[in-house]
Structure 1
């Protein structure tokens, strides 16, 4: 993403970072992500943690985009989860409304992939709250610069005997072999 704002230290630098994937299969939900953060053609960090537990630990989320922006969104989502306990979809819709209408939030450049035991969603600054298409085998979603590579790999692996965590891990490894902005330093979180 391109940052044109003069108040940021990286003004004009192109940020490329992250592959985040969510796999739901066999009653298990997994979100995984790589650890690489790049500015332009330079890797500035290889072990960033872009996947974490939210709320009381019953929601997991991953982000792609500007780190400070993503943490702001995580904080806002946690506040919505406190307001609407055990209602991830409602909390995400309310966050998306705020994100779309609030002047400050509209400037945030990040995407989020979040899940609980019942739902998995992608949230964007355009006000999108997207649920993955379910197949008989489960579902997969990906975001970030390598998200489409991981998504394709995850979909291909979904019909195998592999479990959700193995599919997520392998899909991220495949993305890291294709996307120069993705590495193999993975963080995986799962919900039963």
Structure 2
């Protein structure tokens, strides 16, 4: 089976009014075949009050994003409750268990990583990165967040640019969404 390397996503929250999430546009099949350069893997959902980004299988991530938005509606926009509910469903539902993706979700109050293992992770600081180049983007975001006055959007863009210069599965065709 050929493995797809889908993306790098980075999110930063510098308070309730400075929030950004970004992703690169590359989808790679196997070790060398770049299948797409301009994939969009971040978006605003739930009345433009929540940002979400995904890493992993694109079709799986779209399905998860739709399910997550329904959970947000069920829980009146409560991000943590919706994320926990989705993680429990993802882990227990036979059809969803095989979905391979990670999600970052962020609003004015919370920044979370949601996985299919039933995990909802609140990072120690207000930045996080996932995906093929996630470790590179995370390291860059850590340095920029803690040692500069850059805003969330600037940190996200620069972290993804740095990741794209190191990781062959990450390109510099970056999409950023802000709250």
TM class by shorter chain equals over 0.9
Structure 1 segments unaligned to the other structure (5+ residues): 1-11
Which of 65, 68, 87 is the aligned partner of 1:77?
A: 68
Q: Is the 8 A contact 1:26 1:163 kept in 2?
A: no
Matched residue of 1:106: which SS? Answer: coil
Following superposition, the deviation at residue 86 of structure 1 comes to 2.2
Quote the residue 2:164 is aligned against: 176
Quote the residue 1:22 is aligned against: 11
Which of 156, 168, 174 is the aligned partner of 1:186?
A: 174
Quote the residue 1:104 is aligned against: 95
Taking structure 2 as the reference length, the TM-score comes to 0.96
Q: Is the 8 A contact 1:149 1:174 kept in 2?
A: yes
**Matching of residues 42-81 of structure 1 within 5 Å:** 42-81=33-72
**Range 77-86 or range 19-28, more displaced:** 19-28
Quote the residue 2:130 is aligned against: 143
Which of 150, 153, 158 is the aligned partner of 1:165?
A: 153
Computed over aligned residues only, the root mean square deviation of the Cα atoms, in angstroms, reads 0.8
Structure 2 segments unaligned to the other structure (5+ residues): none
Q: Is the 8 A contact 2:102 2:113 kept in 1?
A: yes
Q: What CA distance in whole angstroms lies between the structure 1 residues aligned with 2:116 and 2:72? A: 18
Q: What CA distance in whole angstroms lies between the structure 1 residues aligned with 2:87 and 2:98? A: 13
Q: What CA distance in whole angstroms lies between the structure 2 residues aligned with 1:31 and 1:57? A: 13
Following superposition, the deviation at residue 26 of structure 1 comes to 4.3
Q: What CA distance in whole angstroms lies between the structure 1 residues aligned with 2:108 and 2:15? A: 12
Which of structure 1's runs of 4+ aligned residues deviate more than 2 A? none
Q: What is the CA deviation profile of residues 90-139 of structure 1, one whole-angstrom value per residue up to 9, with x for unaligned ones?
A: 000000000000000001001101111110110111011001113xxxx2
Taking structure 1 as the reference length, the TM-score comes to 0.90
